Structure 1
Amino acid sequence: MKLTRILGQILLPTVVLLLAPAAGRAETLRESVARLSADVASSLREEGDTTVRLGKFTAPPMVSSTIGLRQALKDALASEGISLSSKGNSLDARFSVAEDGDQLLVLIEALLLDANGKPLHRMVKRTVTEPADVAEFFGLTVGLADANPATPPAAGKPAAGTKPITPPAVGKPASDAKPITPPAVGKPAGEKPATPPVDGNPPASNTAVAETASTLSTSLVNRQALQNPGFFSTGTAVASSAGSPYRVELLSDTGSGFLPVPVTDFKGRAFSELPLGRPYRVRITNNTPHDAAVRIALDGINCFTFSEVPDYRANGVWIVRANSALVVDGWYISPGVRDQFMVVPDEESVAAGFGADQSTMGVVTCSFFAAWESDQPVPPIEPAGARGGTAQGPRVGGAQET
């Protein structure tokens, strides 16, 4: 599910995704960007320079944000010894997405310009990858109307050559290990959550989690949704369709509590008004008989980015129990500690601190994954039927509200 925020308002188109390790070993977009960055670094050195300014990034209509691409380029360039500058040579980028059988073709074209805007070098990288990789990397606005789950790796173990993709933790830990439950879980009405939050140490490796925790399901993104993104609103919540069991709501601080914010339609997009300088929360509802893992990103930045727990930061998902709801009130720091989501001007946002393009600010993405215990059958996949940025607000403590 997907939410896009503008100054004083929040745009909420819907995105629902199902992911898991790919059966084969294809190049990922991040690896493709790394190769592109190596070419850019080589071209810059030919010009006698080791700095560059990230310029204009152009994306197709289905892409809601270029923050993921910009951040990946920034990281990859840094690994090549190239630093960002506010002047001198600049790097523009344009990318397109097209179908290639059951996968997607991503074409990234980079143009290196001198300080006067004169083209110096042109570089192109072509990548054929999984729709899930594209959707997560670029924040595609899509739904899952006809998705079918792939068979998960047996006993939670990844296919050869791949890394397991798991929630931070669910299920029972080994007898000699501390509990490794997710940072927070939802709570069915009138019942206690199946696995309450536990302040335990994360496992030593992702493999250890995979053997005791849930595994995420795979599905291809519905092709039609790539061309026809949309949303369904219940007044304060949005979903990919009227029949979708997943809902996302924004809760704004009114001074006397956090209340749901009404959603209105603006040119086919869903908007909710949020005041600057106030904290807000994201409520996720899972109306299915099976658990769901949800990855939440603010302005393209995962809410676990600042986590002091390595495995939580790496996996970056919350677990929402079957037929329950979860309220996420901030950037996850450590068990019992979070920094509130705050509505601020673009230049004060977390994304701006990462060097994100100001024109792409204001995107909140909630990506849904099927989740189940490794010794349980695969659950049926339900059909999914002026801007402001987000900063780190005052620190809050205690158990995560559910």
Structure 2
Amino acid sequence: MTDFVPYVRWSCLTLVLAFSHSAVAAESVSLDKALSGLAGDIAAALPRFGAESLAVGTFTAPPQLVASGGAGIANQLTGHLEKAGVLIARRANVGLRGRFSLGKTARGQATATITGELVDNSDRTLLSFSRQVESESDIASITGLTFEVEADAPIKQRSEEIVATVDNPTTHLDGTVVRARDGSPYGIELLVKDPGGSFSPRPGVLDDGLAFVDIAVNDIYRIRLINDTDYDAAALVTIDGLSIFAFSDHPEYKHFIIPAESSGTIRGWHKTNQKVNEFHVKDYADSAAAQRLIDSSQVGTITVSFSAAWPLDGDPPPDEPGRVRGPDGKRATAVGRTVESVSAEVKREVGRLRAAVSLRYDKPAE
């Protein structure tokens, strides 16, 4: 087991989606693309309402999803709004609130639908909006679902299996490792620091098909990623709806690479390729999510999406389609102290989503 894994640059991933998997429609509408367009529309509309600033509020999901993705939606949208010249403030004369849900398009493709409105101080709707996200990796991060799908299965079949996991989850506990199903080659494990300074696996429990690990305020943890396949894996990691690179000097980074038949441990929020900030569980007000103006009802979920990865001049796995060479007692994760964690930047092609594994560490009160 290693304590680091190298990273894939966003520019590389963009090339993969544009050329290696152009036939995969599920990757054509990403969350980033949808929110970028939405931010532009909102920026253009605000002057009509005499708004000098905007308060970005909560994005909520149907309660049965138990989804924390609204935090990530609000964070990414806020970033795009700021780029578009919108002043973001907690108190403003116009506010934004939204919802997100999981469903399927008319052609049977899984989609996350993001809806919402701009409202004035009297709660009068000024502008309504709706956007669809079809990227399977983004859907996994938004919903916090756990599932495994065959890489070469038709889009409709993959979508049916993804949506079905809401009512029929397949989450499996393999000792202290959480997997998408029994026998899955991908897994995640939380390692929690003990008083002596060492990190040990923390066992979890299954409740209604969701995996929970009990972590207390002031605990420091690490995330172990497991890849039991005979090819490299690219892992997209989000915590409390935030990308693991949310505080990085390299925001273009997107994935970790786990070599074939091995595991790697993420020590904290990526800062540079030499240092990270530890995952430190705090009361919500002191957390990383709070720093991003994210609502406290949407924290407590770690989601890892696994795809196959291979060198730019190497061959993909045989089953890769389109193969070409080429505030209420809530706990959340804060940005802890800076520690050394050496990693290296590599370029890889990234294939279709194969599995998504979610683990929750702030279980709702009974």
TM range (shorter): 0.7 to 0.9
Query: Identity over the aligned pairs, expressed in percent?
Result: 28
Shift of residue 299, structure 1, vs aligned partner? 1.4
The equivalent residue for 2:171 is: 231
Match of 1:79 in 2: 83
- Counterpart AA for 2:152: N
Report how many aligned residue pairs link the two structures.
Answer: 307
State the partner residue of 2:114: 108
| Partner residue, 2:332 | 389
What runs of 5+ residues in structure 2 fail to find an aligned partner? 1-14, 321-328, 344-366
Question: Larger Cα Rg: Structure 1 or Structure 2?
Answer: 1
Decide whether the 8 Å contact of 2:217 with 2:282 is kept in 1.
Answer: yes
Write the mapping of 1:3-402 to structure 2, written as runs, cut at 5 A.
21=17, 22-23=21-22, 26-60=28-62, 61-62=64-65, 63-87=67-91, 88-100=93-105, 101=107, 103-117=109-123, 119-127=124-132, 129-136=134-141, 138-148=142-152, 221-228=158-165, 229-256=169-196, 257-308=198-249, 310=250, 313-380=251-318, 386-397=329-340, 399=342
Secondary structure at 1:316 match in 2:
strand
Q: Deviations over 1:27-77 (max 9, x none)?
A: 543333233333333443222112122233222444442122111221222
Task: Write the distance in 1 (CA, Å) between the matches of 2:29 and 2:310.
Answer: 28
Give the residue type in structure 1 aligned to 2:308: A
The structure richer in helix per residue is: 2
| TM-score using structure 2 length | 0.74
Note if contact 2:61-2:70 (Cα within 8 Å) is conserved in structure 1: yes
Q: SS of the counterpart of 1:390? A: strand
CA distance in 2, matches of 1:105, 1:272: 29
Deviation digits for residues 153-180 of structure 1, max 9, x if unmatched? xxxxxxxxxxxxxxxxxxxxxxxxxxxx
Question: 1-side partners of 2:162 and 2:178: how far apart?
Answer: 16
Q: Give the partner amino acid of 1:266.
A: D
- 1:50·1:81 contact (CA, 8 Å) conserved in 2? no
C-alpha distance in 2 between matches for 1:378 and 1:102 = 27
Question: Any conservation in 1 of the 2:118–2:127 contact (CA below 8 Å)?
Answer: yes
RMSD: 2.9
- Which structure carries more strand by proportion? 2
**1:307 counterpart letter in structure 2:** S
Which consecutive unaligned segments of at least 5 residues does structure 1 have?
1-18, 151-217
What is the rounded CA distance, in whole Å, between the counterparts of 1:387 and 1:266 in structure 2? 19
Deviation of 1:102 after TM superposition, in Å, equals: 5.5
- Residue 252 of structure 2: SS of its match in structure 1? helix
Displacement of 1:316 in angstroms is 2.5
TM-score by length of 1: 0.68
SS of alignment partner, residue 22 of structure 2: coil
